[in-house]
Structure 1
Amino acid sequence: MNTSDPLRDLYADWSQVMADNPDMSMRLFRAIFDEWHQPTVEPENVTYKEEVIGGVPGIWCLPQGADTSRVLVYTHGGGFAVGSAASHRKLAAHVAKTLSVTSFVLDYRRAPEHPHPAQIEDGIAVIEALIDSGIQPENLTTIGDSAGGNLAVAIPLALIQQNKPVPGRVIAFSPWLDMENKGKTLETNLDTDALITPELLAGMIAGVLGDKTEPTNPLANPLYADFTGFPRLYINAGSVEALLDNAERLNERAKAAGVDVTLSIGENQQHVWPFLAGRSELVDQELQRIREWYGAS
């Protein structure tokens, strides 16, 4: 059995670089996290196109033969501060190809230069522009990983608050939701997670919330949100990651509000394990589960 895990190896390398360079500039921090695509195999028969939608730049992932009336609006992870459309386009393309739809990966404004709620505002701008272009709201899916998983959940919550059309589905990979930084698996999975530490998260929380947004604000921390009327929701996480309980608590909160929610836990998998797309049989199986979930109504 092949036990190699290029994602875990990448995280371990980043962790070492961060430990060796505690005063690293944001410029270098972002450059390192743009390596996030490396464990992902380039999907075949997908083309990419850069475009600005609703004032927000990003990258289209266009699988051959995809249904262009259906769009995944992908918000990348990276603590709201790092990561990019470039670092996540291959992952977004794998999901889009599996579902036979298109995906637009946002280069939303990042913290700390642009604190909360700039990221949510950018997501709403893209969704409204896509609807204005003729895409039906029910054919839109917000999807994201880590901090982007937070945004994939928070953007529909904000749309519900504003009485605006809401996407038909939401997909969250290893969502990072707890801005109070006190989830139990931050302690119990600390030794098995190759990347996430409470200290790393604390710095990112300070960057995105600043001194203006409370860590219990429901649009910053959806664990405090009212999920009444929320779309169908698919959540996954890795069993050994420090943010596992964020996914579990989201599942419980959504279920209590009557949301149609599915939770999938990848055994022995790291943070945002779908990054192993094209390289892992477990991820292949997970993408097929998402395909079945997406097609069900």
Structure 2
Amino acid sequence: MSTEQRQNLEAILRQSAFPADSDVNEQRRQLRELISAQPLPPDVTVTAAALGGVPTAEITVDGIEPRHTVLYFHGGVYVIGDAFLADLASQVGRRTRGKVISVDYRLAPEHPYPAAVDDALAAYEALLRGGTAPSDIVFAGESAGGGLAIATLVNARDHGLPLPAAAFVMSPYADLTLSGATMETKREADPLFTPQALQARVADYTSGQDAALGLISPIFAELSGLPPLIIQAGSHELLLDDAIRLARQAAVADVEVTLDVTPGVPHVFQAYYPILDEAAAALDRAGQLLSAHLASAERVTAFADDRSST
């Protein structure tokens, strides 16, 4: 990564950082403005659909015959964003040769917890009922969507559902108690967020519930039995400690986990792949790991099918 690339990105993000005192509607408008400035690649198609009564965006890439399904969860601190902001999701689909189904889960404060958690589980259940094998599915998500992806794995496990082959989370927002050490130690380095801006939105989602509940903050959940996790973060973000502690909790629970921290880059840096070399490289690494986990899950399924037929 060149110093010029990093400096240019930081300048852009500091200009677009969300002030803590702006309201939700203004933050939603600003995010759409920021994302729409980066149009989708011309070979990406986004189509409105639904799973289990939950709106979704189906994202495909021309020339790729989908072999797998990526169930994707967008970011936005549970109050902003939507499934049709599809550029980053499409990059995951491109690298896994999969169709991406991005879940347009309900947002707070209009729909606080557990609305997002319920929608995510309903979409996954519907995907399974529709005949997609869990070994052909991976979860992915960024920021709050990364936290929601982990919470959905925990929720699916606790409901007795078969789990997907793997999950890839970018800068996961996994601790809504905001107790990570990097909330303070990375305060000056993070060009996008402040602790105050994050705190201002926590109550919108928790709405009186304990922020330390495992399905709100999966950093506090029991993670045993989850599929392999790929966790990426940048060293210049307040949520770095969320990623580090989530990886530690997974490892302690005997979950296969890859923690990939890129120095000198901000929150969900992968979204800036057109202007940041390290972003494309990180997506490539994640794509290779996801593809390996999908291939491994397919082999296990084929072996189990062979044994059951003999």
TM-score interval, normalised by the smaller of the two chains: over 0.9
Q: Aligned pair 1:187/2:184, yes or no? A: yes
- The 5 Å alignment of 1:1-297 reads 1=2, 3-5=4-6, 7-15=9-17, 18=19, 22=21, 24-38=22-36, 42-87=40-85, 89-211=86-208, 213-296=209-292, 297=296
Deviation of the 1:100 alpha carbon: 1.0
Query: What secondary structure sits across from 2:139 in the alignment?
Result: strand
Summarize the Cα distance change of 1:159–1:246 in structure 2 as closer, same or farther, 3 Å threshold.
same
Deviation of the 1:67 alpha carbon: 4.5
Alpha carbons 1:56, 1:126 under 8 Å: kept: yes
Alpha carbons 2:60, 2:100 under 8 Å: kept: yes
Range that drifts further, 277-286 or 194-203: 277-286
Query: What secondary structure sits across from 2:4 in the alignment?
Result: coil
Residue 79 of structure 1 aligns to which amino acid in structure 2? V
Query: What secondary structure sits across from 2:66 in the alignment?
Result: strand
Query: What secondary structure sits across from 1:190 in the alignment?
Result: coil
In the alignment, structure 2 segments of 5+ residues that lack a partner are: 297-310
Query: What secondary structure sits across from 1:230 in the alignment?
Result: coil
Quote the Cα distance in structure 2 between the aligned partners of 1:243 and 1:270.
10
Deviation of the 1:37 alpha carbon: 2.5
In the alignment, structure 1 segments of 5+ residues that lack a partner are: none
Max Rg structure: 2
Query: What secondary structure sits across from 2:111 in the alignment?
Result: coil
Deviation of the 1:289 alpha carbon: 0.9
Superposition RMSD in Å: 1.8
Quote the Cα distance in structure 2 between the aligned partners of 1:2 and 1:42.
26
Quote the Cα distance in structure 1 between the aligned partners of 2:91 and 2:34.
15
Quote the Cα distance in structure 2 between the aligned partners of 1:42 and 1:220.
31
Quote the Cα distance in structure 1 between the aligned partners of 2:44 and 2:257.
29
Residue 159 of structure 1 aligns to which amino acid in structure 2? A
Percent identity at matched positions?
Answer: 31
Query: What secondary structure sits across from 1:129 in the alignment?
Result: helix
Alpha carbons 1:233, 1:262 under 8 Å: kept: yes
Query: What secondary structure sits across from 1:4 in the alignment?
Result: helix
Quote the Cα distance in structure 2 between the aligned partners of 1:159 and 1:99.
23
Post-superposition Cα deviations, 1:233-282, rounded to whole Å, max 9, x if no partner, equal 00000011111010000010000111110011111110000101233221
Aligned length in residues: 291
Query: What secondary structure sits across from 2:274 in the alignment?
Result: coil
Quote the Cα distance in structure 2 between the aligned partners of 1:134 and 1:69.
14
Task: Give the TM-score normalised by structure 2.
Answer: 0.88
